[in-house]
Structure 1
């Protein structure tokens, strides 16, 4: 759920709760005020009735006073305490029961006890309560409607700078030379966020350029001494006066230097791939590339008597030829190097997937770490960067790289 929806939900729930509670309190307050007013009028009516009785020594008849209903009921009980209450009564002039407010108390007349009851019509007050309730409900609905519209349109306009900043952040590319675009907004918080993002992007670009320059310089500077070491080792190996133990030591040094050179090239390649610095994309026939790569690895696979079965459909991809060559090299070389003697490799290509299967260890690899840097098997002689490079190349082109172990076959699939 979006932030605006959360805000609208909380705002409407709180507003509605406050309005409903306020409406209930308001209704009972009005009801109390109206009842007090009616009780005051009933009190005046009672005074008039008592004055009438004392002056005329006669009990008034029903409806004798302002058409209010007055009843005198003879009783043996002592005078009861006066009380006011809501009731209904029958008005002969109107049909049906009518609502009213009543007073009931005791009076003594000519030695007898009477219970006096005066009922005053409250129909006008009931109608007034209904009008007030209806107006209150209409105001609540109108206020909720206005709040919803305000939150939907006005607040959305207030959030536009935030979404603008978010769009700029999503489009931000660390390798581009252009600076972060500031948005001129009048909200102080968004202006501070804008400036903070601009400063952060500037520092990130500077750090990236420094790191890129350092990596390139370090890689370049390492190549020269490695080339010198390799050249000197080539010369020493050709020396016929070398003893066997010296020759073996030089071979070890030669192998370590070659491994260091390959590691340097792999790390530099990873930096370029991760920062999308290789952009020579072409429309390539993947079927043809795989067939060419199978022919290139024919001698290596034949040395281990590995059978390669290929079922290749037609597939064209827009990709860097250099990166695609590295990807296929790593996958096929791994499938051959980690295969069994007299094993097999299956290659399937469809319009949406490339699958390479090979025999090897009888236990599955760790799918959670297999694509991490420097993760390799105990029998591997590589640097553990091959599958990391493959995974990063797939990430560049939004391909999904998967590993599975089915029927004793290590399966690597690329979903286009």
Structure 2
């Protein structure tokens, strides 16, 4: 859920809760005030009745004047405490049950005990409470509507600088030379965030350029002595007076120099891939690339008598041809190099995934660390960077690569 949605949700819930609680308190307060006002009127009516009894020494007749009703009931006991309460009564003039407010108390007159009740109409107060409740409800709806509109338009406009900064950060590319563009906004917090991001991007680009320059310089400086070593070794190997034991030692040095050169190129390639410095993307026919690569490795597979089964469908991908060639080269060379004599290689290509399987070791590899740098088997002669490069190429294009051991076959699956 987005930040604005979270804010709107909390804001509306809190506002609605406050309004409902306030409306309930307001209703009971109005109800209390109106009841007190009716009780005051009832008190005046009670005073008039008692005054009438004392002055005339007789009970007034039951009457219904101005929608007020008074009745006396003789009783044997006089234990009723005076009380005010809401009730309904029948109004002969208007007919039907009407809302009223009543007082009930006791009266001792000429040795007899009476319970008398006075009822006055409360319809005006009921109507008033209904009007107040309706107005309160309408105000709640209006307030919620205004609040929703404010949250939708005003707050969205207020958050525009944030979304602008977010878009800049998503589009940020450390390899681009263009500077981070500051947004113009009036909110101090966004201005501080803007400046912090600009400073951070400038520092990151500077560090990246320094690292890139160091890597390229180091790679270039390493190639020069390696070329000199290889050239000198070539000269020594051609010496006819060279003894066999010396020749074998030179061959070992020659192999180590070649391995060091390949390691240097692999590390440099990793840096370029991880920083997305290879962007020559084209629309390529993947099934054609796989068939071409199988022809290139035909001699190697034939030398180990490896049987190849390929089930390849048409699949187009938008990738760098150079990176795709490296990916296929590493996967196929691993499948051949780590295979057994008269082993098997199965290749499947669909619109959703690319799978390559090979026989070899009878136990599965570590699926967690297999794609880490310099992770290799005890019999491997490589630098342990091939699968790391494959993994990084997949990350560049948003593909998922997985390893599994199925039916004694080492399986690498690339899910597009």
TM-score (norm 2): 0.93
Structure 2 counterpart SS, 1:404? strand
Q: Give the aligned partner of residue 410 of structure 1.
A: 410
**C-alpha distance in 2, partners of 1:325/1:284?**
11
**C-alpha distance in 2, partners of 1:85/1:283?**
87
Are the counterparts in 1 of residues 67 and 121 from structure 2 also a CA contact under 8 Å?
no
Are the counterparts in 1 of residues 63 and 71 from structure 2 also a CA contact under 8 Å?
no
Q: Give the aligned partner of residue 135 of structure 2.
A: 135
Q: Give the aligned partner of residue 264 of structure 1.
A: 264
Listed as ranges, the matches of 1:351-366 within 5 Å are 351-366=351-366
Structure 1 counterpart SS, 2:388? helix
Aligned length: 416
Displacement of 1:244: 4.3
Are the counterparts in 2 of residues 79 and 105 from structure 1 also a CA contact under 8 Å?
no
**C-alpha distance in 1, partners of 2:283/2:15?**
60
Structure 1 counterpart SS, 2:63? coil
Listed as ranges, the matches of 1:112-261 within 5 Å are 112-261=112-261
Displacement of 1:414: 3.2
Moved more, 98-107 or 75-84: 75-84
Q: Give the aligned partner of residue 31 of structure 1.
A: 31
User: What runs of 5+ residues in structure 2 fail to find an aligned partner?
Assistant: none
Are the counterparts in 2 of residues 79 and 115 from structure 1 also a CA contact under 8 Å?
no
Displacement of 1:289: 3.3
Q: CA RMSD in A?
A: 2.2
TM-score (norm 1): 0.93
**C-alpha distance in 2, partners of 1:67/1:283?**
93
**C-alpha distance in 2, partners of 1:284/1:131?**
74
Q: Give the aligned partner of residue 400 of structure 2.
A: 400
Structure 2 counterpart SS, 1:362? coil
Displacement of 1:215: 0.4
**C-alpha distance in 2, partners of 1:35/1:279?**
82
Displacement of 1:262: 0.7
Q: 1:127 to 1:414 in 2, by over 3 A?
A: same
Displacement of 1:350: 4.2
**C-alpha distance in 1, partners of 2:314/2:111?**
120
Are the counterparts in 1 of residues 402 and 412 from structure 2 also a CA contact under 8 Å?
yes
User: What runs of 5+ residues in structure 1 fail to find an aligned partner?
Assistant: none
Displacement of 1:283: 4.2
Displacement of 1:171: 0.9
Structure 2 counterpart SS, 1:210? helix
